[in-house]
Structures are given as structure tokens and as C-alpha cells.
Amino acid sequence: MSTIENAKRMAKSLRTLLEARDHEVTHSVALEMVAQQLGYKDWNTASAALPHGLTGSEIKLEKAIPILRMFDEAKAREFYLDFLGFSVEFEHRFEVDLPLYLGLSRDGVQVHLSEHHGDASPGTTIFVPMQNIELFRDELITKRYGFGRPDIVEQGWGKLLEVYDPFGNRIRFCQS
């Protein structure tokens, strides 16, 4: 849903885009144009109807990031980076010889891996909605990973591709 702040950002982007094409407009004209694009009669109507950003008393939950248990850094890197194609966002150790906590991401999906006892239990399943599951399967197959060559299973609700990491965790990629 649009907010006043988003509409103002849209107007600023519109002005910048138009100026780059030698069409200068005032900020108020850009606001009027954005209001009409959002379905309002004018900016005054839009600013009265659109919600403002969060106040200090509102709660907004963000996306969840699963934490999976790992026991071997080299195997984790081979599976998650080389095979699944994730990238490292961060690595953390309290000291050089202490357990690793690793943040990974791919296409907006974030996963944290932890060697810390008690952070997570092996055998966890995470569910990842996706698109173009056949392309992903083909990408994985071409890597010829020695511990798995996943295939797609048709379910009544969509296509499912499951992979198991070296620590007993399962990732279900699904296309509805």
C-alpha cells in the first residue's frame, strides 16, 4: 500500500526522470501527477487519504530469517555457496577458534547457519516459494553435486524441489 512518504519519493523520482529528458516540472506538479496515478483527484485528496509511515506505537513485523544448524564449515560452504548459489552476507565468530555464525542470501532469501550449540536443531525444514523452478533444477543438476541431484515433484498445490544439506536440514523450494 502507498503511503505519503512513498508518494513523495515517487514525485521526486518523476521530477528527476523528467529533468533528465529536458522536461522540468515543479515539485507540486510532480505531486499532482503522482496523486492522479494513484487514483486521487489531486494531491490534497491523496495526502488526506494516504496513510503516513509508522508511528512509534505501531508494530511492523519483518520477514523471518531461519537459522539452521551446521557442524562443518567447509561442507556448509560447499553446499550453500557452491551448490545452491547463495552468497555470504556476513561471518561472525567471537574469537578465531570459536563457532561460526554465517549469514547467507540469494535473490532476497536469507538463511543463517550456526555452529553454536543451542541455536538450532538439525533436521529443520524451511519452505521457499519461488518462480522458474525448472531453471533452478537445471542449474543444480549441471553442478553435479556428489550428494544430491534433486528433481521436481508435482503436487496438487504446485511443484516441489527438495534438497537436504549435509546436516540433516531440508529446504523445500516450491512453485505454486
Angle at the Cα of 172 (from 132 to 140), degrees rounded to 5? Answer: 55
Strands, sheet with 101-106, edge to edge from the N-terminal-most edge strand = 67-69, 109-114, 101-106, 87-92
Backbone phi and psi for residue 18, each to the nearest 5 degrees, phi listed first:
-65, -40
pTM: 0.68
**What are the residues facing 160 on neighbouring strands?**
153, 174
Domains and CATH numbers, the chain: 4-49 (no CATH), 67-175 (3.10.180.10)
Alpha-carbon distance of 119 to 162, in angstroms, equals 23
Whole-angstrom Cα Rg for the chain? 23
DSSP 52: P
Q: Tell me: the pLDDT tens digits for 125-152?
A: 999 999 999 999 999 999 988 888 899 9
Q: Tell me: the pLDDT tens digits for 91-116?
A: 999 999 999 999 999 999 999 999 99
Confidence of residue 19 (pLDDT cuts 50, 70, 90): confident
Q: Tell me: the pLDDT tens digits for 44-73?
A: 888 888 887 665 667 778 889 999 999 999
